[in-house]
Amino acid sequence: MASTSSTIIEQEYQPLLLGLHSHSRIPDLSSEVVEDFLAHKPVAARWWPRLVAWESRLLWILSGASVVVSIFNYMLSFVTLAFTGHLGALDLAGASIASVGIQGLAYGIMLGMASAVQTVCGQAYGAKQYASMGIILQRAIILHLCAAILLTFIYLYSGAILRSMGQSESISERGQIFARGIIPQLYAFAISCPMQRFLQAQNIVNPLAYMSVGVFVFHTLLTWLVVYVFDCGLIGAALTLSFSWWFLAVLNAVYIVLSPRCKETWTGFSVRAFSGIWPYFKLTLASAVMLCLEVWYNQGLVLISGLLANPTVSLDSISICMNYLNWDMQFMLGLAAAASVRVSNELGAGHPMVARFSVMVVNGTSIVISIVFSVVVLVFRVLLSKAFTSDSDVIQSVSDLTPLLAISVFLNGIQPILSGVAIGSGWQALVAYVNLASYYIIGLPIGCVLGFKTSLGAAGIWWGMIIGVLIQTVILIILTARTNWNAEVQKAVDRLKKSASEETTLILVDAI
């Protein structure tokens, strides 16, 4: 009897998925159709490959371009440091430590704050509340600029900050020159980062990728001219980085204002952006804390490694491994951004089953990719270090750390994706507590004990990082597995209703 009922249900809903008989018809499916199909269980096994293909197509349309954006934005600073290295070891040391200790601080805050745009704009786009998205973007830019003003003082007095961190007078002085030269970049980042999340929430990713690649090529040529041809030194390299970021910010803004694809989501500047800013600020603050705790954790381990018994080898080996981990992180951040957009769009559209299915597909995809990356790291363990140094001690140290790097790469394929799902669902405050406990209460102390109180040295510090990330990943897996997606849809609806109510009130006040 149950089998007969299941057959009837399957026959009843089979016409909805006629496109699944052919991969060529997969793009024609809609979330509404898939949501309806998934809601009527059980789903026959033969449908799952087609459903995975449908979700994977949407995921890679978003993540392919998002990965390009993440990598090439990261490459702007990478190219600047590469050219700075030709100015001399002291200039490179100063610029590098300023990038980790000063610029990295701002990067974590700005990127974390911008994740709130992904949450609210993504859900608003899924709910087709397009007009509210422009207001949300303006609120985000206002808060980002306020944060930039506060962070400016850290840039201005970076020399004293670096000295307090144990850096030498000469390195701190060069670091301060570089930090002050990238103050304009701080404000460009404050404007560009929310705009990029605003466009990603609307699935507008290819134009962002074209802009990021174009600015990267322009930046490389300009930096070569400034450093080699015009011989402008460290301050010239820093100002060039700032100029390129402003170029990118202007391109993002021009696209939003002029593109027909944004005509419904961007309706011009409005004083309403200053209202209802407190609830949005709380989400923004939680987002910033959540991501900052992750970014600073890795950077803190690099700085701590400089305090070990053999600081040169330890710092060099951990820095080389961390560099490869950062490259992997940029790839996974692009995938995480796509996951965030998919989940927030589907929650806003009222599709809990599709949101849950999207989480399953993106996690499966990231696990496969991270396994491949981990194998590559293990196979080329010696070549990884030789690409950076010819010092035999450093090469051996990197080779010893490579198995731990492979473990980190694997975990890196899961943890950022789960964080992306958390951003899309609006769980930033909860994940901030998870990060604080797993990283700073558990992982960091363990790393310090293993690094300084045992013979493990740099490996001990890295083990602390792995333990912290592992604990965080396990907690996020449990939270995701226990999630009531119907309840998450209702939370998204309530959040959007509250925002819409505030805007309606303001319109009436303006009319009076």
- With a pLDDT cut of 90, the percent of the chain lying above it is 12
Q: What pLDDT does residue 250 have?
A: 96
Q: What is the DSSP string of 275-313?
A: TTHHHHHHHHHHHHHHHHHHHHHHHHHHHHHTTSSSHHH
Range ranked top by mean pLDDT from 249-253, 304-308, 498-502? 249-253
- Residue, of 6 and 356, whose pLDDT is higher: 356
Q: What pLDDT does residue 180 have?
A: 92
What's the CA gap between 255 and 182, in Å, rounded?
25
Reported confidence tier of residue 301, pLDDT bands at 50, 70, 90: low
Q: What pLDDT does residue 346 have?
A: 78
Work out the average pLDDT over 479-502.
67
- Measure Cα distances from 437 to 259, 296, 452, 479, 508 in Å: 44, 14, 21, 15, 45
pLDDT tens-digit map of 386-404: 665 666 777 777 777 788 8
Q: What pLDDT does residue 6 have?
A: 44
Q: What pLDDT does residue 197 have?
A: 87
Long-range contacts of the stretch 478-484 (C-beta < 8 A, 24+): 479/422, 479/427, 479/430, 479/434, 480/359, 480/418, 480/421, 483/356, 483/425
Least Cα distance to 439 among 300, 340, 336, 284 occurs for 300
Reported confidence tier of residue 505, pLDDT bands at 50, 70, 90: very low
Per the CB < 8 A criterion, the answer to whether 444 and 300 are in contact is yes
What backbone phi and psi angles, to 5 degrees, belong to 44?
-60, 145
Instruction: Answer whether residue 20 shows pLDDT above 90.
Output: no
Both tokens assigned to 168: 């030498």
Instruction: Answer whether residue 7 shows pLDDT above 60.
Output: no
pLDDT tens-digit map of 80-118: 877 887 777 677 777 777 877 777 778 778 877 777 777
Report the mean per-residue pLDDT for the chain: 77
Q: What pLDDT does residue 241 have?
A: 93
Work out the average pLDDT over 203-231.
90
Q: What pLDDT does residue 212 have?
A: 93
Reported confidence tier of residue 192, pLDDT bands at 50, 70, 90: very high
CB burial class (10 A; 0-12, 13-18, 19+) of residue 321? buried
Both tokens assigned to 409: 């790469």
Q: What is the DSSP string of 119-165?
A: HHHHHHHHTT-THHHHHHHHHHHHHHHHHHHHHHHHHHTHHHHHHHT
Q: What pLDDT does residue 257 have?
A: 92
Q: What pLDDT does residue 404 have?
A: 81
Work out the average pLDDT over 210-214.
94
CB burial class (10 A; 0-12, 13-18, 19+) of residue 462? buried
- Measure Cα distances from 279 to 142, 284, 495, 499 in Å: 14, 9, 10, 9
Q: What pLDDT does residue 509 have?
A: 31
Work out the average pLDDT over 134-163.
88
Work out the average pLDDT over 207-225.
93
- With a pLDDT cut of 70, the percent of the chain lying above it is 77
Q: What pLDDT does residue 149 have?
A: 93
Work out the average pLDDT over 12-28.
47
User: What 3-state DSSP class applies to 203?
Assistant: coil
